[in-house]
Amino acid sequence: MNPTSFPSSPPLSSRSTLTVLGAFVLALAGCHPVLSIEDARSRSNGSEVTVEGSVTVAPGTFSSALGDEGFAIQDDTGGIYVKLEEKLPFSLGARVRVTGTLDEQNRLRILKSVPEDVDLKSGTEQVSPKGVTTGGVSESVEGQLIRVSGAITQAFQDDSPYGYKLYIDDGTGEVQVFVHVSAGFDKAALQALTVGQSIAVVGLAAQYEATYEVAPRMPSDLSVQNAAP
């Protein structure tokens, strides 16, 4: 009588491969694919997404009006403000991956997150501002770092403790410049600006209710342009 035959066990290497693949599948099940920021912005409120980009607004810069310690990021497709209650220790240009929930704050598109879901990556990349006409500050550039210039049409308006307002126009339409108190500007210097002066502003293209605006991040983002000879 022949001895009973049993199926041979798979080689150790095969079992190891299956174990590794199984662990990989389980790991993927708890992860979100990294979306482009443009794609993420198009998703509905309440959607959980993961995006990656370079920091264009440092943590806490806009705390006086937005009431948080968040920051903004941008990739090749768009930008978005990340709402965060705790201030994280990184600067402009840092590369970060963020998982959060899409929402709106006074019609500004935001990504609500927590420190545990913000992953600092290696390397830095400074984002250059996109040149936009004053009349072109709209939903199409919201969340991005932009540069506008024009003549002041409405001078300093005090909206503290949130910020200060002024308005400029390059001939294509008036846009609001909203200077957050927390961005470190000298109030007297802003009050000294007068109607008719030409200024250039770099900042985040943002929105408050029905008003689109440009929010500079630091005093060097706003400069007075010399009149042509």
**Taking a C-beta distance cutoff of 8 angstroms, is the pair 110, 67 a contact?**
no
**Taking a C-beta distance cutoff of 8 angstroms, is the pair 177, 203 a contact?**
yes
**Taking a C-beta distance cutoff of 8 angstroms, is the pair 107, 134 a contact?**
no
Sequential pLDDT tens for the chain (229 residues): 444 444 554 554 544 444 444 444 434 445 679 999 999 999 999 999 999 999 999 999 999 999 999 999 999 999 999 999 999 999 999 999 999 999 999 999 999 999 999 999 999 999 999 999 999 999 999 999 999 999 999 999 999 999 999 999 999 999 999 999 999 999 999 999 999 999 999 999 999 999 999 999 999 999 999 765 4
For residue 93, what are its two tokens?
């240009």
Residues in a beta bridge with 71:
82
**Integer Cα distance of 133 and 172 in angstroms:** 7
CA 113 to chain centre: 12
In sequence order, what DSSP letters do the residues of 129-162 get, joined into one string? PEE--GGG-STTTTTSEEEEEEEEEEEEEEETTT
**Taking a C-beta distance cutoff of 8 angstroms, is the pair 145, 156 a contact?**
no
pLDDT tens-digit readout, 57-107: 999 999 999 999 999 999 999 999 999 999 999 999 999 999 999 999 999
Backbone φ/ψ region at 107: left (φ over 0), alpha (ψ -120 to 50), beta: left
In sequence order, what DSSP letters do the residues of 45-93 get, joined into one string? TT-EEEEEEEEEE-TTTTHHHH-S--EEEE-SS-EEEEE-SS--S--TT
Residues in a beta bridge with 148:
201
**Integer Cα distance of 139 and 211 in angstroms:** 10
Q: Roughly how many angstroms between the first and final C-alpha of the chain, as a whole number?
A: 111
- Residue for token pair 């390059």: 170
> What's the pTM value of the predicted model, to 2 decimals?
0.85
